[in-house]
A and B are shown apart, each in its own frame.
Chain A
Amino acid sequence: MALKLADYKTDVHNDWCPGCGDFGIVNAIQMALAEMGVQRDKTTIFSGIGCSGKTSHFINTYGIHTLHGRVLTFAQGAKIANPEMTVIAVGGDGDGLGIGAGHFVAAGRRNVDMTYIIFDNGVYGLTKGQASPTLKLGEKTKSLPSPNTNFNVNPIGLAVASGFTFVARGYSYDVKHLKDLIIQAVKHKGLSFLDVLQPCPTYNDINTRDWYAGSDLLDEAQKRHSRIYKLEEQGYDPIVHYNSISEVNEKLSQSLIKSLEWDTKIPTGVFYKNELISPYTQRLKDKIPNYYENPPAKQNISQNGKPITDISAILDSLQV
């Protein structure tokens, strides 16, 4: 029986603030899962801590709500143990780029075949609005006692530099586009990263929905121009087509340059995509030939309560 969008929703009460950008993201995830028709019990959503951390409870698949900054570690462990599963990890920008930045970089190097979505709003919402890693230096949101004293992290640039093989940005109020990006990210063979711009209506009074819509940017005709634009509409080609240093370097460099655009023009869409880098599971298969058929989660370890692993060859080598 084909599953409907409603099948991917739980009836858990959602207590996000009215107007929160997170709604768009969770809707887009559910829509993407429904459109792909993924099997619910072959899918796990891992989440971090904070408002975005509750996401896993709203989606009717396996859902693991983990610890602050650590979501990627749980998710990678599960995916490596059971590579059959579709794994999506979600978390805030403070979670992934502040406390979890070390795991973010290490995950890029590993390139485990899964998707990581950051809910990027520039503030720590659930602790009442402190500056998060993507807030610009010198900016003062209404909840900050004084302007932000830290330089901001560039999530797209960091992802590309860390080795993520699919790097994209979405906007939480463009749910259809975001849903398409999520589908591409999940289908990507390797670690995909989605930076989702997500206004926090309660604490971030700078990067608001109106700001993204460019209400402060009026042209001569008093017409406003959205800051957000789509890379794919500008003929931007994010894909590494063949395995040569010059091709890779060119695609990496252009994505880094694009990642620096902000202020009046903010690119969304796919910045970088390289499927020529082997996913971590493939690297394991190179060492363990039957890894995909018999991964850790599938292995038989006992019969009638007794071990079936035969360690006698090792014991023989120790025998005196």
Chain B
Amino acid sequence: MSITDFTWLIGGPQGSGVESGANIFSKVCAAMGYQIFGKREFYSNIKGEHSYFTVRICDKKINSNVNDVTLMVSFDAETIFRHYDEVVSGGGIIYDLDLEKSKTDDVHTLDGPFKERLHKELESKNKPFTIAGVLEIAKEKGVTIYPVSFKSILATLAEETENPRLRGLVRMFNVIGVALSLGLVKMPPDSLKKTIGDIFAKKPEIAKINQETANYSYNYAIATFESFNHLLTGTEKKPDTILVQGFQGTALGKMACGCRMQPYYPITPASDESEFLESNEILEVNGDRLGSTAVIQCEDEISAMGMTIGAVLTGTRSSTCTSGPGFALMAEMLGWAGMNEVPVVITNYQRSGPSTGLPTRHGQDDLLFAIYAGHGDFPKIVYASGDIEESFYDTGNVFNYAEIFQVPVIHMMDKFHASSVITCKRFDPQKITINRGKLLEKVEDGYKRFAFTDDGISPRSRLGIDNGIFWSTGDESDEFGHITEDPILRVKMMDKRMSRLDLILKEIPESQQAVSFGVEDYTIISWGSAKGPILDAIDMLKKEGISIGYIQLKLMHPFPAEYVTSLLKDAKIIIDIEANQSGQLGKLFKQNVSRDVDYFILKYSGRAMTSTEVYDSLKKVVENKSGKREILIHGA
């Protein structure tokens, strides 16, 4: 039996239901046993600009998207102009017949630089600047095209169901596109009906109209479309599989590990996490009354950070969630938290900088900034998760690190994580442990919050408990927390705080510092969401007999220099793969390990890496055809 590896792309103007279409499609495929890796791309815009969703469907575990699209469905011209060339020979394009005559100039959201490139391509192939023109190129390449009039489908359906409202209901186009696609690949129809029913469980009328539309369109595809090479008829379902969105990993981790307050300020791509927490603010607690998460929308990120610190001072596990620009505003507060040994957690869903940058696009731009954020020397932890499944368990760990070492922790996530939808093994909260470090329940007389101790960590009181009075200040302080400018005490206090960096490296298990996926002559170092494309690319190369090693760094600061050095001792060539322009991990690596990176594979176009392009560039490296810097640019 051949392996299914299928990529479906749906596109349309923002606000036209691309995301919900993709949601239905992904759920149907997941319900039929397939593994899913989906990713959403969108403009910084509310309505009208181009957004698209690629869903990769496989019968084995996948960790990334690929360049090739097997089937594209579109109800607008822009999607076809932008993506026609991604569809592979033997693939298909389902599109709205009424768009055929559309010219590039009719699509006002096609921006200049893109249009110029497209015109050049069309000119070179002697094609008109129309949908018909680009589709001809696709056909010549071996793509089957499936023209359908979406309007006529609605019109016929309106007549058949005696529901004249349907006739003009263009917001059903997404469901039509999904159902046509599923019909074409002969997906059994029951799961489509059930999925729509589940999604609109609270709105039976909307469920019904969607189901009727889907059913009609599905049958239309079965009856009308010529046969397609690729079928998705279902595969063996793996037990305990969930279909989860990126931001849900950290959010569920926070609920499970006892984060009970999250102040935040809206920012893409981080707010989804806070909104998910608020939508689920009441929590079931085993053997106890109901719990809750107080999610507070603040006036800015400074306030979000201040409120989070305030909550942590009361002994509450609390965090905030933000992205680069917001994190930049928190830098002064981060220093206060470091100075006062406050175990605050900041979840940082990075995006493309600098400044506003590409606000809805991906980037791993903030590694060095996170490490150096804040003035003065103070200890902190910067920790990076590689995928959504990891992020659930890592969230449990970072709250422990914060409380055990009494330092702020910055948990690095990114836009690629946030807007991915994947299947993975159901999260198991019992694999999370909760360790609150030296948090006190009872306080003895003569308490000193910043007492010198053997391990450099003082027992921690909290605001409002009996007998636990303490003071905190951003000034240098004595053991009680009162201001001091004494030079000797200053040195002692500085050393006490900073001694934690060594302790962190000593106490955090190596398996949580860095993960080795094997070390070979050619070995990759990387961090964060580049993990998925890297794992899949390594897998592809392995099939060709090429072995590539990979070390995934998770504890980014303090940097586990000794451990990484020992891991890499047999590696001859080091390849740094990450999504930023300057190779930030490479710099950090050189600084800590005193070893040069041999090759950089970098992506900073704002789009997530695909395993295809990582594979291509690794192959170039191995074949000695690569420059020192390989820059990836795939993705519209």
Contact = CB atoms under 8 A, between A and B. Distances in A.
Asked if A pairs with B, the answer is yes
Interface of A: 10, 12, 40-42, 44, 46, 49, 54, 56-57, 60-67, 70, 72-82, 84-85, 102-103, 105-106, 284, 287-291, 293-297, 299-303, 305-315, 318-320
B258 A288 contact: no
13 contacts: A41-B464, A57-B471, A64-B472, A70-B306, A77-B296, A77-B318, A78-B463, A307-B429, A307-B432, A311-B283, A319-B240, A320-B237, A320-B242
B464 A62 contact: yes
A277 B2 CA distance: 67
A318 B482 contact: no
Contacts of B302: 70, 73, 103
A73 B281 contact: no
Given A57-B471, A65-B472, A301 B280 contact: no
Contacts of A84: 464
Contacts, number: 247
A81 B255 CA distance: 16
By Cβ-Cβ distance, the 3 closest A-B pairs, closest first, are A77-B310, A73-B306, A301-B258
B376 interface: no
A90 to B, nearest CB: 14
A76 B244 contact: no
Given A82-B314, A307-B396, A320-B30, 12 more contacts: A41-B464, A64-B471, A67-B333, A73-B304, A76-B306, A78-B310, A78-B311, A290-B289, A297-B463, A299-B258, A299-B292, A307-B434
Given A81-B318, A288-B282, A315-B242, A302 B469 contact: no
A284 B294 contact: yes
B284 A318 contact: no
Contact of A288 (B281, B305, B433, B483): B281
B243 A77 contact: no
Nearest to A301: B258
A57 B426 contact: no
Contact of B464 (A66, A85, A303, A319): A85
Given A82-B464, A307-B432, A301 B313 contact: no
Interface size classification for chain B: 35 or more
A18 B372 CA distance: 41
B242 A77 contact: no
A6 B317 CA distance: 35
Contacts of B432: 306-307
Contact of B474 (A67, A102, A287, A291): A67
B575 interface: no
A102 B299 contact: yes
B89 interface: no
Contacts of B314: 78, 81-82, 85, 296-297
B466 interface: yes
Contact of B283 (A85, A297, A309, A318): A309
Interface string B456-473: 000000111111111111
Interface string B465-504: 1111111111100000111000000000000000000000
A23 B423 CA distance: 63
Interface of B: 27, 30-31, 237, 240-244, 248, 252, 255-258, 260-261, 263, 280-294, 296, 298-300, 302-311, 313-318, 332-333, 336, 396, 423, 426-427, 429-430, 432-436, 462-475, 481-483
A78 B263 CA distance: 11
A290 B292 contact: yes
B310 A76 contact: yes
B313 A307 contact: no
Contacts of B300: 102
A44 B462 CA distance: 11
A92 to B, nearest CB: 15
Nearest to A303: B287
Contacts of A305: 433-435
B464 A73 contact: no
A10 B470 CA distance: 11
Contacts of A284: 294
B252 A314 contact: yes
Contact of A80 (B281, B307, B426): B307
A54 B302 CA distance: 22
Given A301-B258, A318-B248, A75 B310 contact: yes
A106 B300 CA distance: 10
Contacts of A315: 242, 252, 426-427
Contact of A77 (B258, B263, B317, B336): B263
Contact of A294 (B252, B291, B471): B291
Contacts of A66: 306, 336, 474
A279 to B, nearest CB: 14
Contacts of A310: 283-286
A301 B464 contact: no
A309 B258 contact: yes
A180 to B, nearest CB: 26
A96 B313 CA distance: 22
Contact of A106 (B282, B303, B316, B468): B303
A66 B309 CA distance: 10
Nearest to B284: A310
Contacts of B317: 301
A79 to B, nearest CB: 8
Contacts of B429: 307, 309, 311
Contact of B255 (A42, A82, A294, A309): A309
B281 A311 contact: no
Given A67-B474, A307-B432, A74 B307 contact: yes
Nearest to A54: B483
Contacts of A76: 306-307, 310
Contacts of B242: 315, 318-320
B473 A57 contact: yes
A301 B257 contact: yes
Contacts of B292: 288, 290-291, 294, 296, 299
Nearest to A81: B311
Nearest to A288: B292
B285 A77 contact: no
A41 to B, nearest CB: 5
Contact of B434 (A74, A103, A297, A301): A301
A307 B256 contact: yes
Given A82-B314, A82-B463, A309 B248 contact: no
Given A85-B463, A297-B462, A318 B256 contact: no
The winner among A74, A106, A295 for most chain B CB atoms within 10 A is A74
A10 B430 CA distance: 46
B305 to A, nearest CB: 8
A319 B471 contact: no
Given A41-B466, A82-B463, A311-B252, A301 B471 contact: no
Given A65-B474, A301-B257, A314-B280, A41 B465 contact: yes
B316 A63 contact: no
Contacts of A303: 286-287
Contacts of A67: 306, 332-333, 336, 474
Contacts of A297: 260, 311, 314-316, 462-464
A238 B285 CA distance: 46
Contacts of B31: 320
Nearest to B423: A320
A232 to B, nearest CB: 33
Contacts of A54: 483
Contact of B309 (A49, A77, A302, A314): A77
Contacts of B318: 77, 81, 296
A315 B242 CA distance: 7
A294 B290 contact: yes
A45 B368 CA distance: 36
B474 A311 contact: no
The winner among B256, B263, B288, B307 for most chain A CB atoms within 10 A is B307
A277 B497 CA distance: 44
A291 B287 CA distance: 18
Nearest to B290: A290
Contacts of B303: 70, 73, 102-103, 106
